[in-house]
C-alpha cells in the first residue's frame, strides 16, 4: 500500500511540475506499451513471433523515446536562446516537443489499430480517419512552424526514414 501511495505522490509531483506535457508523455508511453503488447499478441496469433523481432521492436521504441527527448532538448535550447540571446518579449514554453509527442502518439495509435485488426477486431472507420486527420494536422502545424512547406506543396505522407528508404 505504501508503494502505491509513493507512486501516486511521485506522479502527482511530476504532473504538477510538468502540467499538460507530463500527461502527453504518459500517453506516449502508454501508447508504446499498447502497441508492443498488441503487436506481440498479433504476431503470436499468426505464428510469426520471434525474440529477435521483439527485441528489434523494443530498440525501435527506445529510438522513438530518444527522438522525443531530442525534441525536448531542442525546446530547451530554443527557450534559452529566446530568453537570453534573441530576447523575445514573451516567454518560450516549448513547441517542438509537444508536436513531436502528439505525432509519435498518433503514429503509435495507428500501429495499435493495425495490430487490433490483425487480432480480428473491427474498428470503426471514423476512428481511423480521426487518427489520420490528427496526424496530418500535426504534420502541417510542424511544417508551418518551421517554414519548410512551400505554398501549394502537398505534405509528404511518410516520415523521413520511410522517404529515405523509398529513394534508395
Could you state, in order of their start, the residue ranges of all structural domains in the chain?
A: 20-158
> What is residue 50's predicted lDDT score, i.e. its pLDDT?
92
Contact 73, 106 (CB under 8 A): no
**Is the model's pLDDT at 82 over the cut of 60?**
yes
Q: Which three cell numbers stand for residue 78?
A: 530554443
Q: How many Cβ atoms are within 10 Å of 159's Cβ, its own excluded?
A: 11
C-alpha 32/C-alpha 162 separation (Å) is 19
C-alpha 73/C-alpha 24 separation (Å) is 16
Give the best-scoring range by mean pLDDT among 12-16, 21-25, 38-42: 38-42
C-alpha 30/C-alpha 104 separation (Å) is 12
Residue 38 confidence class, pLDDT cut points 50, 70, 90: very high
**Is the model's pLDDT at 156 over the cut of 60?**
no
Contact 69, 145 (CB under 8 A): no
Count the helix, strand and coil residues of the chain and give each as a percent rounded to the nearest 5.
80, 0, 20
pTM: 0.72
**Is the model's pLDDT at 37 over the cut of 90?**
yes
Tens digit of each residue's pLDDT (9 = 90 or more) over 109-139: 999 999 999 999 999 999 999 999 999 998 8
Amino acid at each position: 500500500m505504501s508503494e502505491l501511495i509513493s507512486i501516486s505522490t511521485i506522479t502527482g509531483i511530476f504532473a504538477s511540475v510538468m502540467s499538460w506535457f507530463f500527461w502527453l508523455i504518459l500517453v506516449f508511453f502508454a501508447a508504446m506499451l499498447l502497441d508492443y503488447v498488441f503487436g506481440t499478441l498479433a504476431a503470436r496469433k499468426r505464428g510469426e513471433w520471434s525474440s529477435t523481432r521483439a527485441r528489434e521492436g523494443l530498440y525501435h521504441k527506445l529510438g522513438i523515446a530518444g527522438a522525443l527527448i531530442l525534441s525536448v532538448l531542442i525546446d530547451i535550447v530554443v527557450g534559452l536562446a529566446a530568453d537570453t540571446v534573441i530576447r523575445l518579449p514573451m516567454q518560450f514554453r516549448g513547441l517542438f516537443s509537444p508536436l513531436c509527442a502528439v505525432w509519435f502518439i498518433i503514429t503509435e495509435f495507428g500501429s495499435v489499430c493495425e495490430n487490433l485488426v490483425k487480432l480480428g477486431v473491427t474498428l470503426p472507420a471514423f476512428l481511423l480517419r480521426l487518427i489520420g486527420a490528427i496526424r496530418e494536422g500535426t504534420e502541417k502545424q510542424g511544417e508551418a512552424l518551421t517554414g519548410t512547406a512551400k505554398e501549394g506543396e502537398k505534405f509528404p505522407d511518410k516520415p523521413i526514414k520511410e522517404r529515405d528508404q523509398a529513394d534508395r
